[in-house]
Amino acid sequence: MSDEPVTMPEGEDAVAARRAAEALIVDVDGYEGPLDVLLTLSRTQKVDLRRISVLQLAEQYLAFVERARALRIELAADYLVMAAWLAFLKSRLLLPPDPTEEGPTGEELAAHLAFQLERLQAMRDAAARLMGRDRLGRDFFARGVPEEVTMKRRVRYTATLLDLMQAYARVRTRDEFRPYAMEREDVLTMQEALEALRPLIGYAGDWRRLSSFLPPEWRGDPVRRRSATAATFAAALELARQGAVELRQEETFAPIEIRRRGERQ
Amino acid sequence: MSEERNDREKGRAGAGEPGLFQAPPMAEQERMVEAMLFASAEPLSVAELEARMPMGSDAAEALQHLRRRYEGRGVRLVRVGERWAFRTAPDLGFLMSHEVVETRKLSRAAIETLAIIAYHQPVTRAEIEEIRGVSVSRGTIDQLLELEWIRLGRRRMTPGRPVTFVVTEAFLDHFGLESTRDLPGLKELRAAGLLDSRPLPGGQAEEEEDGAAPGQGEMFDD
Amino acid sequence: MSEERNDREKGRAGAGEPGLFQAPPMAEQERMVEAMLFASAEPLSVAELEARMPMGSDAAEALQHLRRRYEGRGVRLVRVGERWAFRTAPDLGFLMSHEVVETRKLSRAAIETLAIIAYHQPVTRAEIEEIRGVSVSRGTIDQLLELEWIRLGRRRMTPGRPVTFVVTEAFLDHFGLESTRDLPGLKELRAAGLLDSRPLPGGQAEEEEDGAAPGQGEMFDD
């Protein structure tokens, strides 16, 4: 960004004026936004930022935008928004205040713009002072050979009483430590059913319902009963396959009946 | 040293004190702090020092003694925010051309953004943009975050809960500042009202700024 | 420092000496050597120091002064071959290792073994294994011994005379128990909801619980 004051006299020094204008426009990307342009323009007034003539500033800026457009150079929306706002501000400053109108007065808006410009300038000065300070790694230095602080890790183990009790409960219920196996408590295996059925079948010369062969202790609980029924049925099939028994069923879902084979009456 | 050692032994031997062991004498604590800070390139806090010292040590007091001892020397004990570090005296920078680390040049946008964050912290991105009159590119913030000169502060309790930015201890260390209160010209800027967030008269669209004033107060008030 | 600076200016101003400029006063040279050695990543020789110092400086002499200045301090100026460097005083080496205490939960195997010892003491390793249903690693027992939560009890008067394990006072302390008899029984564990994970089918679990109480009684009878 050029620090030279930007003036745009009409007529005479047309070349210089155009160059100044072009510098501005061509550098429009170099500017950090419309506030930056305004700050640059305000410097031509060579007064305290708090006392700049916002009206004059608005005129300079509008002229700048006008020239940019005359040169068919596209301006970013930010710049045009600022131009529109400054035109509005200019009208407010020029016209006598309308007491019926809401919102801030032209003076208030102008004062705010002056504040913004002053604040931006102040931040730039502050940034320059900051960067001008003695800096680490350039003007002052840290230790060249920092010594490694070795981290000795000491592990402290903890457990709570709850952990202890839960652990014991876990062990005692064995619900997680036993090698995995199906719970067999309520399952009558076919082998067991076969062993139960085989001695009984000797007495069954007549057709009898298969359900009557369920071991008595497996009849009450429905879960146990289901398992025993399935096992006994499978055992009966096995005995039939071996030729020891005959099976029959009157119709679908009717009770299955069983009798010893070979001894017809 | 042998004398100091003897003192130390005596100090330790003294029983009947509140602690289990009595802390070593201050001269010895000063040596310890000196050694730890000398060995570290990074600033260390009182708590970090005391964590490595014998029980009952008072690193803060040892630091005061040590700071005085190094006044005017080629190496100085400096405070960096809540931490302490040895740094070479800035007037001897000319001897250090060998140690200079070439740093990436910061863009103007980055420098200004950094200054705005330092002087206005905690500050939102919208506020930075309002002050600069131009949008702040993601890259600028990223660069400052990467340098670890800024970090995220608390979210602003305004609609949208925008994040704020604050400067770090690494920032203070780099620019040789004890705290953000020592930023050059801070008092004058504040007196001139240039650190106030002054909403646009009529208050259009700048509501977000309202939250800024108390935030700043928190940060800089003594 | 300002005094030293003045000296330095005077030193420099004095013309008509052999060199083009007079060397800075020794105190200033000492500061320079101090700063260079502090910031350098490597030890520096007299020649290297002097190459960076103003003409006519005597780094060797400055080193002698500096060495004396650091005698008995937390940091010492040491000679490394032909070069010089600052090093932490050897007696403060302990500060350069930072002990971090990390709290970790006891492993499942360890806590279960511990629980079995607590509930069944004195108990042999074979018994622990029978109760847990898996073998107990040497490491687990060692860890508990090291923590001083268990110790060896009397040998069992059975073939092989196996060692038994019992819990210690430290164990009671840690778990806030007056005695192992304060440990809740299985019924209480269930009442407290600690056993609610998949109770065993049928009445077996109940039986087991019932069995636990007398078992425990035996175990803990003195």
pLDDT tens for each residue of A58-70: 888 888 888 777 7
Alpha-carbon dihedral sign for residues B210, B212, B215, B219:
negative
* A212 Cβ contact partners less than 8 Å away, ≥ 6 residues apart: none
- Give the relative orientation of helices A77-94 and A34-42 as an angle to the nearest 10 degrees: 50
DSSP character for C67?
Answer: H
The CATH number of residue A230's host domain is 1.10.10.580
Name the architecture of domain C26-92. Orthogonal Bundle (1.10)
Q: Say yes or no: domain C108-192 is CATH 3.40.50.2300.
A: no
pLDDT the model gives residue A9: 43
Share of chain B above pLDDT 90, in %: 51
Question: Which residues does chain C have within 8 Å of residue B39's beta carbon, measured at their own beta carbons?
Answer: 88, 95-96
pLDDT the model gives residue A126: 94
ipTM score assigned to the predicted complex: 0.61
Asked if the C-beta of B221 comes within 8 angstroms of chain C's C-beta atoms, the answer is: no
Query: Alpha-carbon distance C19 to A229, whole Å?
Result: 118
In chain A, which residue's Cα lies nearest the Cα of B187? A126
Asked if the C-beta of C70 comes within 8 angstroms of chain A's C-beta atoms, the answer is: no
Query: Alpha-carbon distance B79 to C22, whole Å?
Result: 35
pLDDT the model gives residue C213: 35
Same-fold call for B26-92 versus B108-192 = yes
Q: What is the mean pLDDT of residues C7-15?
A: 41
Name the pTM for this structure: 0.58
CA nearest to A31, candidates A69, A57, A65: A65
pLDDT tens for each residue of B168-207: 999 999 999 999 999 999 999 999 889 987 777 665 444 4
pLDDT the model gives residue B203: 54
Residue A131 lies in a domain: no
Q: Is the pLDDT of residue B211 over 70?
A: no
Q: Is the pLDDT of residue C66 over 90?
A: yes
pLDDT tens for each residue of A110-153: 888 889 899 999 999 999 999 999 888 888 888 888 877 776 77
How many interface pairs between B and C have CB atoms less than 8 angstroms apart?
83
* C151 Cβ contact partners less than 8 Å away, ≥ 6 residues apart: C145, C165, C166, C167, C168
Domain ranges in chain B are 26-92, 108-192
CA nearest to B25, candidates B74, B58, B64, B70: B58
Chain C contact probe: residue of B91, B97, B101 with most C CBs at under 10 A: B91
Chain C contact probe: residue of A139, A151, A165 with most C CBs at under 10 A: A165
Residue B198: burial class (beta carbons within 10 Å; 0-12, 13-18, 19+): middle
Residue A154 lies in a domain: no
CA distance C18 to chain A (A): 31
In chain A, which residue's Cα lies nearest the Cα of B188? A122
CA distance B154 to chain A (A): 23
Asked if the C-beta of C49 comes within 8 angstroms of chain B's C-beta atoms, the answer is: no
Low-confidence winner among B6-10, B49-53, C140-144 (lowest mean pLDDT): B6-10
> Cβ of C31 and B1 within 8 Å?
no
User: Kind of pairing, strands B83-88 and B75-80?
Assistant: antiparallel
Provide the number of structural domains found in chain A.
2
Q: Coil, strand, or helix at residue B123?
A: strand
Residue A183 lies in a domain: no
Cis peptide preceding C122, ω within 30 of 0: yes
Share of chain A above pLDDT 90, in %: 5
pLDDT tens for each residue of C118-139: 988 899 998 899 888 888 888 8
Q: What is the mean pLDDT of residues B25-47?
A: 93
Asked if the C-beta of B32 comes within 8 angstroms of chain C's C-beta atoms, the answer is: yes
> Cβ of A120 and B93 within 8 Å?
no
pLDDT the model gives residue A13: 59
User: Kind of pairing, strands C44-45 and C75-80?
Assistant: unpaired
Question: Which residues does chain A have within 8 Å of residue B183's beta carbon, measured at their own beta carbons?
Answer: 126, 130
pLDDT the model gives residue A56: 84
Alpha-carbon dihedral sign for residues A5, A10, A16, A20:
positive
CA distance B222 to chain A (A): 21
Residue A208 lies in a domain: yes
pLDDT tens for each residue of C193-217: 665 544 444 434 333 333 333 333 3
- For chain B, the C-alpha Rg in angstroms (whole number) is 22
CA distance B14 to chain A (A): 29
Residue A216 lies in a domain: yes
In which domain, by residue range, is A232 found? 190-260
**C-contacting chains (≥3 CB pairs under 8 Å):** A, B
Please enumerate, as own/partner, the contacts of A132-135 that have beta carbons within 8 Å and a separation of 24 or more.
Answer: A133/B175, A133/B176, A133/B177, A133/B184, A134/B90, A134/B93, A134/B176, A135/B174, A135/B175, A135/B176
> Cβ of C88 and B30 within 8 Å?
no
Highest mean pLDDT among A209-223, B4-18, B82-96: B82-96
